[in-house]
Amino acid sequence: PHLPTAQKGSRDTPFISLHWLPVEACIRFKEEEESLRDKIRADHERALQEAKEKLRKSKEELKAEIQTEKTKVAEDLKKKDGPKPLPPVPMPKLVGVNDGDPGDPDNKEKRDKIREMMKHAWDSYRQYGWGHNEVKPIAKKGHSTNIFEVSVFEVNIRFIGGLLAAYYLSGQEVFKVKAVQLAEKLLPAFNTPTGIPWAMVNLKTGVGRNWGWASAGSSILAEFGTLHMEFVHLTYLTGNPAYYQKVMHIRKLLAKMDRPNGLYPNYLNPRTGRWGQHHTSVGGLGDSFYEYLLKAWLMSDKTDTEARKTYDDAIEAIERHLIRKSNGGLTFIGEWKNGHLERKMGHLTCFAGGMFALGADGSPDDKAGHYLQLGAEIAHTCHESYDRTVLKLGPEAFKFDSGLEAVAVRQNEKYYILRPEVIETYWYMWRFTHDPKYRQWGWEAVQAIDKYCRVSGGFSGVKDVYSSNPTYDDVQQSFFLAETLKYLYLLFSSDELLPLENWVFNTEAHPLPVLHLGNITLPGSETQR
């Protein structure tokens, strides 16, 4: 987390320049803006008051209140005769939904082991964590975080993305309907002066707000920039242009902004439309924004060339300012903070190896070979970050400074919480090169996870990958099932299972089909272009 820093300039500066508008329009615009600000202020005060009242109540009172609410929602839904069926749209042809048998006994055996691990993780969740976000595998009980507000980004990538993938893979209407119901609940988060959504929204009241630690009340690039895939699918499936328009508005707004050194800062204030602190990262706070630019192009059957160009420009600036070689010859991606390069790379950043490989085909100036090579170098560096530990599992962040090469220094950077990014990159590299080392590295990770993270109630993160006797964090993260084990399973399957020509994985590894729109125009796209 980053502590808030004071932002230069006035928070009340209007986002849109008014000098070209006639006086009456100017007044009306200012009045509308003022009334939106008043509403936001009043909403926030009300939400604060409600939260204070809730905190005065006992756990039992809160549980009883939640139960009453749940029963009321269920009864209301019944009264409405269930949700209206959505208009039928052509179901994309689903290619590669098959067994993906790897063909040889050795890889089959390895894949069976990964399947067994998935079963252990899932059974444990079902037995001890059902109804909660995750399971605590040591305490053997459910694990949930904040009950009052939810993160727009997390709900989108984990729940909506998961429901959409379940819909496409099963064809069952219920998943689509649930995805849409949930997405409707997120829409109030976009009611800001700029249309850049709040980070969090209260599903009951629709009141949005931002993280207290984010630079001067800013929204986060990786959060508001990781909605595109799911929202385009929602418009495609429902015929409702709102979703498409919301994400295209974000794109247009970003395109108009100046970028320091061509880089996108991680913080943007949704009230003023100004950047917050000039911190750029391909790891936490920035990562999936870049991923979704590339994937917007891929999921559109490569017709969304605007997204591709934005991706190419962003990556070009990242390569120029953030990617370096260490003294020991390891390619790493650092972080840009107020004009200074921090020679530290996060585990989260390791996904970028796969992204560079995925974006190689179609890159400008015939640089496909270059990007595939860059992907391989990042994969190698991230493997080294695993290999240089005692447990053979990677730390949360590692340095390339003062003689250090791909190792964590601070105690609070030495943990491994079952994250997928390194394995994700192995899988993409495997698909594009078939170099056996990627399967070998993936297998090393399987063995280490099974040895050090497996407990009787599932799998747990560990607090220090450099200790031979690590303590557990007692959380089985949901992305361990959605991503880590899924990418491992795919790594030991044949390429015929979910081929990348037909499927694009959202940032939580939920597969969504490429939309071959052909002559179909997405509702809302006519007014946007």
Q: Which amino acid is at 286?
A: G
For the window 374-413, what string marks contact with ligand DMJ as x by the rule CB under 6 A? ----------------------------------------
DSSP-derived pairing of the beta strands 208-209 and 200-201: antiparallel
Q: From the CB of 522, what's the least distance to ligand DMJ, in Å? A: 25
Instruction: Please tell me which residue in 50, 154, 342, 435 is annotated as part of the active site.
Output: 154
* 8 Å CB contact between 196 and 471: no
Residues of this chain, 76-95, that bind ligand DMJ according to CB under 6 A: none
Diameter over CA atoms, the chain: 77
Q: From the CB of 288, what's the least distance to ligand DMJ, in Å? A: 4
Cα angle 35, 38, 42 (rounded to 5 degrees) comes to 140
**Coil, helix or strand at residue 513:** strand
Q: What span, in angstroms and rounded, lies between the C-alpha atoms of 268 and 273? A: 6
DSSP 61: H
288 binds ligand DMJ (CB under 6 A): yes
Q: What span, in angstroms and rounded, lies between the C-alpha atoms of 250 and 231? A: 12
Instruction: Please tell me which residue in 223, 384, 396, 474 is annotated as part of the active site.
Output: 396
Which lies closer to ligand DMJ via its Cβ, residue 310 or residue 478?
Answer: 478
Q: From the CB of 352, what's the least distance to ligand DMJ, in Å? A: 12
For the window 326-365, what string marks contact with ligand DMJ as x by the rule CB under 6 A? ----------------------x-----------------
Which lies closer to ligand DMJ via its Cβ, residue 269 or residue 506?
Answer: 506
Which lies closer to ligand DMJ via its Cβ, residue 193 or residue 375?
Answer: 375
Instruction: Please tell me which residue in 223, 304, 405, 421 is annotated as part of the active site.
Output: 421
Q: What span, in angstroms and rounded, lies between the C-alpha atoms of 63 and 59? A: 6
Which lies closer to ligand DMJ via its Cβ, residue 287 or residue 474?
Answer: 287
384 as an active site residue: the answer is no
Q: Which tokens in the block code for residue 482?
A: 């959605």
Which lies closer to ligand DMJ via its Cβ, residue 228 or residue 274?
Answer: 228
Residues of this chain, 415-474, that bind ligand DMJ according to CB under 6 A: 419-420
Phi, psi of 73 (to 5 degrees): -60, -45
* 8 Å CB contact between 112 and 515: no
61 as an active site residue: the answer is no
Which lies closer to ligand DMJ via its Cβ, residue 335 or residue 508?
Answer: 508
Please work out the total of residues on this chain that contact ligand DMJ, with binding judged by CB under 6 A.
9
DSSP-derived secondary structure for 323-366: EEE-TTS-EEE-EEETTEEE-EEEGGGGHHHHHHHHHHTT-GGG
526-to-234, 330, 425 alpha-carbon distances in Å = 17, 47, 37
* 8 Å CB contact between 515 and 488: no
Which lies closer to ligand DMJ via its Cβ, residue 43 or residue 396?
Answer: 396
Q: From the CB of 432, what's the least distance to ligand DMJ, in Å? A: 20
Which lies closer to ligand DMJ via its Cβ, residue 383 or residue 419?
Answer: 419
DSSP-derived secondary structure for 291-324: HHHHHHHHHTTT--HHHHHHHHHHHHHHHHHTEE
Query: Which H or E run contains 280?
Result: strand 279-280
**Coil, helix or strand at residue 188:** helix
421-to-220, 323, 432, 473 alpha-carbon distances in Å = 20, 18, 17, 19
496 as an active site residue: the answer is no
Q: What span, in angstroms and rounded, lies between the C-alpha atoms of 306 and 308? A: 5
Q: Is 238 annotated to bind ligand?
A: no
Q: From the CB of 396, what's the least distance to ligand DMJ, in Å? A: 10
Instruction: Please tell me which residue in 149, 230, 287, 508 is annotated as part of the active site.
Output: 287
506 binds ligand DMJ (CB under 6 A): no
Of residues 507, 512, 513, 524, which one binds ligand DMJ by CB under 6 A? 507
Q: What span, in angstroms and rounded, lies between the C-alpha atoms of 300 and 310? A: 15
508 binds ligand DMJ (CB under 6 A): yes
Query: Which H or E run contains 399?
Result: strand 397-399
377 as an active site residue: the answer is no
Q: From the CB of 285, what's the least distance to ligand DMJ, in Å? A: 10
Q: Residues comprising the binding site for Ca(2+)? A: 507
The binding site for ligand DMJ (CB under 6 A) comprises 287-288, 348, 419-420, 479, 483, 507-508
The catalytic site residues sit at: 154, 287, 396, 421
